[in-house]
Chains A and B, each alone.
Chain A
Amino acid sequence: MERQGPLFSLFVHASALLLAVVILAPLVWLFVMSISPAADLSAKPLKWWPSDIDLSRYRTLLSAIENSTGAAFIASLFNSLKVAGMATLAAIVVAVPAAWAVSRTPAVSWSLYTVIATYMLPPVALAVPLYMGLAYFGLLNSVFGLALVYLTILAPFTTWLLKAGFDSIPREIESAAMIDGARLDQILRLLTLPLAAPVMATSALFAFLLAWDEFFYALLFTSDLRAKTLTVTIADLAGGRVSDYGLIATAGVLAALPPVLIGLVMQRALISGLTSGGVKG
């Protein structure tokens, strides 16, 4: 590669340091707020490092004493898990056969593009009828209702990623097996689906993250502990009259932990998914 002068090298290192600080400073501060005593956070001048480490908010949020902030937080944590889990599972179940069919039968691919085009729709375009429909079926403020609504986002998205995945599995493998006398269901079960397992896992993970992140529909369609998700609970905390900012920060740290860990561990798969197929906004 290029010979680098010492000045250029200094410039690169300085810029890298700046970039690292820009990325890390807000995140570190979120964590510092979560472990600082309340007095430190309202001190002037502000204390940038906690005088002593205070883990009481983690205990508060993760203790299930009835009617406490913790109980509400844990309930919404489980609601988020349930909604994201159910929506992801349902999306994969409908997306796998559709994605395979489109991948192997280009003649019907226009229908997939129609489905993907809906991904561009602003959620407000569907919100009012969805609200009325859920109300009609008694599914407002229900994890099932919200999971169903999340299919509007997850189903097109996973179908798109899976189709790209099936495209990369040569169809010659399938025709060879067919010539050898295998039935279609055997080919899919024993050959194609195992080969597509990594793509299916990545798609499921992406879908789960999308659902975990979702806020707009959750805000509209849930109202109490029975269905409120983590994002709504955190927005409530942030917008409410909570005087301890450390508590809000702690809720943020806990909600961010699963996606951040997934992001770090799955980095390679996520980046190739981001650059090849869909891009999450």
Chain B
Amino acid sequence: MSGTWISTRAWLLMLPLLAVMIAVIGWPLVDTVRLSFTDAKLVGTEGSFVGTENFTRMLTGSNFWRALVITTLFAIVSVAAEMVLGVLAALLLNQQFRGRTALRALMILPWALPTVVNATLWRLIYNPEYGSLNAALTQLGLLDSYRSWLGEPGSALIALIVADCWKNFPLVALIALAALQAVPRDITAASLVDGAGPFNRFRFVSMPYLAGPLLVALVLRTIEAFKVFDIIWVMTRGGPANSTRTLSILVYQEAFSFQRAGSGASLALIVTLLVTLLAVAYAALLRKAAGAA
């Protein structure tokens, strides 16, 4: 069979997928770009061309910058905590102890719990009047009076990060555990014979196997965290006093609550650009890591 026929056949087989992708991703993306230069409303007016007005208004207002800081904070703190807790849990699960298989099975539960159910659950736990966190801390004598964890700007973001970490660190743990189990037994044994301590064993024996999978998990989790919407919408809707209003929440409010499709689209494009930059930077990092290995 000739090469041209094979690649023609390949394109024909890809046609349905490509057609669907153009309809539901390609066209909307192009239309978002068009809308970002107009003053279109979500319903009713088509809008007219306004140049870069939307972008300048968004970039000179304080809302965008504040949301960017909150999003970055959320992403860095939650992903860092998930990585550390995940690796620690994986190191533990890689030890021999009774009930290890059962504990490993449990780790799948937070991951399987739907995000909205997780958010709802933690919202109930943090409830200012009847929540179990207030009850537990008071009964243990650690708290004098009930607090509104999600109602105070000082604690709302941290409370959200805890809820997000609880759901996502087990996934990192499972990925890290799979990597740890790929470390050949005889290398571990040899390092023991050579008298390597636990820290050096982790640094020089386990780490080379962990680095690749962890880097991939880090990339994907950071991008996910940067796009965060669901957990915040269900738990705080960006409040109190906009202290948990991330970029996605801001776009939602602009485009759908205030129905300003044009400026909402321009904001969405800025977010997309930031996510793309993040992805490109990480891709370079991954390639460098692959080259070094």
Contact = CB atoms under 8 A, between A and B. Distances in A.
B130 A42 contact: yes
Nearest to A263: B112
Interface stretch (A51-59, A103-111, A189-197): A103-111
A60 B204 CA distance: 58
A32 to B, nearest CB: 9
A100 B124 CA distance: 46
A6 interface: no
Contact of B112 (A90, A122, A209): A209
Given A219-B233, A239-B237, A275-B178, A16 B10 contact: no
Interface in B255-269: 255-256, 261, 264-265, 267-269
B190 interface: no
A216 B230 contact: yes
A129 B13 contact: no
Contact of B114 (A46, A120, A149, A256): A256
Q: Is the interface of A mostly helix, strand, loop or mixed?
A: helix
Contacts of B14: 97-98, 101-102, 108, 111
Interface residues on B, range: 35 or more
Interface stretch (B54-62, B89-97, B152-160): B89-97
Interface in B1-48: 6-7, 9-11, 13-14, 16-18, 20-21, 24-25, 27-29, 31-32, 35, 42-43
Interface of A: 1-2, 4, 9, 12-13, 15-16, 19-20, 22-24, 26-27, 29-30, 33, 41-42, 44-46, 48, 90, 93-95, 97-98, 100-102, 104-105, 107-108, 111, 115, 117-118, 120-133, 135, 148-149, 151-152, 155-156, 159, 209, 212-213, 215-216, 219-220, 230-231, 234-235, 237-239, 245, 248-249, 251-252, 255-256, 259-260, 262-264, 267, 270-272, 274-275, 279-281
Interface of B: 6-7, 9-11, 13-14, 16-18, 20-21, 24-25, 27-29, 31-32, 35, 42-43, 89, 92, 95-100, 103, 105-117, 119-125, 127, 129-130, 132, 135, 138-139, 166, 168, 170-171, 174-175, 178-179, 185, 188-189, 192, 213, 216-217, 220-221, 223-224, 226-227, 229-230, 233-234, 237, 247-248, 251-252, 255-256, 261, 264-265, 267-269, 271-272, 275-276, 279
